[in-house]
Structure 1
Amino acid sequence: MPINLLIVEDDLSIAEMMSDHLNKEGYQIFHALNGTAALERFSQGEIDLILLDLMLPELDGTELLKAVRIQSFVPVLIVSAKDSELDKALGLGFGADDYITKPFSLIELSARVKASLRRATVYAGKDGHSQQSHPQLRVHELSLDPELHTVSKNGNEIKLTGKEFQILKLFMLNPRRALTKEQIYRTVWNEDYFGDDNAINVHISRLREKIENDPSSPQYIKTVWGIGYKLGEF
């Protein structure tokens, strides 16, 4: 099956340049001129990666990214003329996977697309080969088995509740992404989020007690102030 890319760009010349190049790379391309049209197309499903401009009419790129992250963790590559460190930090903080500034080379664009798609694929096995029949998620000393529903640290099994397991799995599937409390709640509880942090805070605290060497100074589940949480990097 083809890999479907959604280009969200209001500059037709840039959109056509990106579309032509990526189409030659073998991708199926969809294009939206504004954030509203992009969200409508994305909601129809079967989009594998979004290339997102931040300065868009009707619904800007940041708001579109927030809306997408509420319902999906599809890879998002920001392609923007905004090149300040603050803009990059905000984009990545709201859930983008990568950030490329205009003007850019088409070779770099292809490489960033491939890297984002590759990071979205779960690999098991230390030899680098995918084991789709029985994937293992590993981060430093932690290992999570989605099929057997088990977690171990240095080979020693850790007993988690169902919600704790789902929260940890969510972080391990999204190792580079800061997750908001709303994203965590909607994904794990599968319910609308009304701003009550208590349930999430309690489960994060209990999970840290079980997986961290020092829960008061967590290394696996880090707090991202003003946003939520993310998986620590080792």
Structure 2
Amino acid sequence: MFTNILVVDDEKEIADLVELYLRNEGFTVYKFYTAAEALKCISTTKLDLAILDIMLPETDGFTICSRIRESYHYPVIMLTAKVEDIDKIKGLTLGADDYITKPFNPLEMVARVKAQLRRYTRYNNSEGKTLEDSNEYDFSGLIINKDTHKCSLYGQALTLTPIEFSILWYLCENRGKVVSSEELFEAVWGESYMDNNNTVMAHIGRIREKMKEAPRNPKFIKTVWGVGYQIEQDE
């Protein structure tokens, strides 16, 4: 089965480089230099992952990411020439799963693509499971099932990306324990945590938003300032 990857970057050399390395790995690449072409592809083509440049001449990558998240859950990786945390946080808050700062090592880019695809495949693969195999947490109106990768709150389905599901599952799995940002990042992303990494914070904010949690007094995901995050045990 072919894996279809969307690549959008108005810098032709970078788009061509990304395409070359991805094709060498056997991926099918849909490459575009403009947002308009990319948006048309998104609506007409079955995609498995998107790599979006943030800085595009007419419509930025943030807008494309938002459009994708309106209907699809496949991984989105943002390419950015900036190093400001605000850009990274904005992308992650809009539903991006990862970001790569230019200039980048093409081999690292390929590795990140493969990691996201593995996570997405696990997220969607529930074949061969039985009720006896089910891994599920059900408390205070939140139901999350590891085998089906479905989650609901007060009977309403929560639409989570694979990364968001993994974060929420890890916190539920460690319910009652305060989980540091470092531990959460390394458990979910499988990479070493760097100081001043706001990736976890941005994703936690996105999950809370989907759960309609009050930012200053969330019911489920508590912030333990200076330590990490916690889902408390039922009393």
Q: CA deviation at 1:232?
A: 7.4
Contact 2:52–2:76 (Cα < 8 Å) also in 1: yes
Task: Give, in whole Å, the separation in 1 of the partners of 2:219 and 2:161.
Answer: 15
- Among candidates 97, 116, 128, match of residue 133 of structure 1: 128
Corresponding position of 1:219 = 220
Q: What are the Cα deviations for residues 128-182 of structure 1, in whole angstroms up to 9, with x where unaligned?
A: xx652328565798652787x9x8xxxxxxxx8xx734424x348542552697x
- Whole-angstrom CA distance in 2 between matches of 1:37 and 1:232: 43
Aligned match of 1:80: 80
Give SS of 2:110's match. Answer: helix
SS at match of 1:96: coil
SS in 2 for 1:47: coil
Over the matched positions of the two proteins, sequence identity in percent amounts to 32
Partner of residue 33, structure 1: 33
Q: Partner letter of residue 36 of structure 2?
A: T
TM-score, normalised to structure 1, is: 0.63
Residue 11 of structure 1 is matched in structure 2 by 11
* Kept in 2: contact 1:122–1:137 (CA 8 A): no
1:180-199 CA-to-partner distances (Å, cap 9, x unmatched) read: 97xx6xxxxxxxxxxxxxxx
The aligned runs of 1:151-162 (5 Å cut-off) are none
How does 1:1-234 map onto structure 2 within 5 Å? 1-122=1-122, 132-134=127-129, 136=134, 143-144=144-145, 164-168=154-158, 170-171=159-160, 174-175=164-165, 177=203, 178=206, 217-220=218-221
Specify every segment of 5 or more residues in structure 1 that has no aligned partner in the other structure, as ranges.
125-129, 152-159, 185-199, 206-215, 224-230
Residue 114 of structure 1 and its aligned partner are, at CA, apart by 0.9
Q: Secondary structure at the match of 2:145?
A: strand
Question: Once the two structures are superposed, what CA deviation does each residue of 1:2-46 show, in whole Å capped at 9, x if it has no partner?
Answer: 100000011111111111111001100111111111010011131
Q: Distance in 2 between matches of 1:134 and 1:219?
A: 28
Tell me, in whole angstroms, the C-alpha distance in 2 between the residues paired with 1:29 and 1:80.
20
Alignment-mate amino acid for residue 127 of structure 2: Q
How many residues in Structure 1 have an aligned counterpart in Structure 2? 179
SS in 2 for 1:120: helix
Amino acid at match of 1:167: A
Gaps of 5+ in 2: 168-202, 224-228
Evaluate the alpha carbon distance shift between residue 37 and residue 71 of structure 1 in structure 2; reply closer, same or farther with a 3 A threshold: same
Q: Distance in 1 between matches of 2:122 and 2:83?
A: 30
TM-score between the two structures when normalised by the length of structure 2: 0.63
Offset, 1:61: 0.9
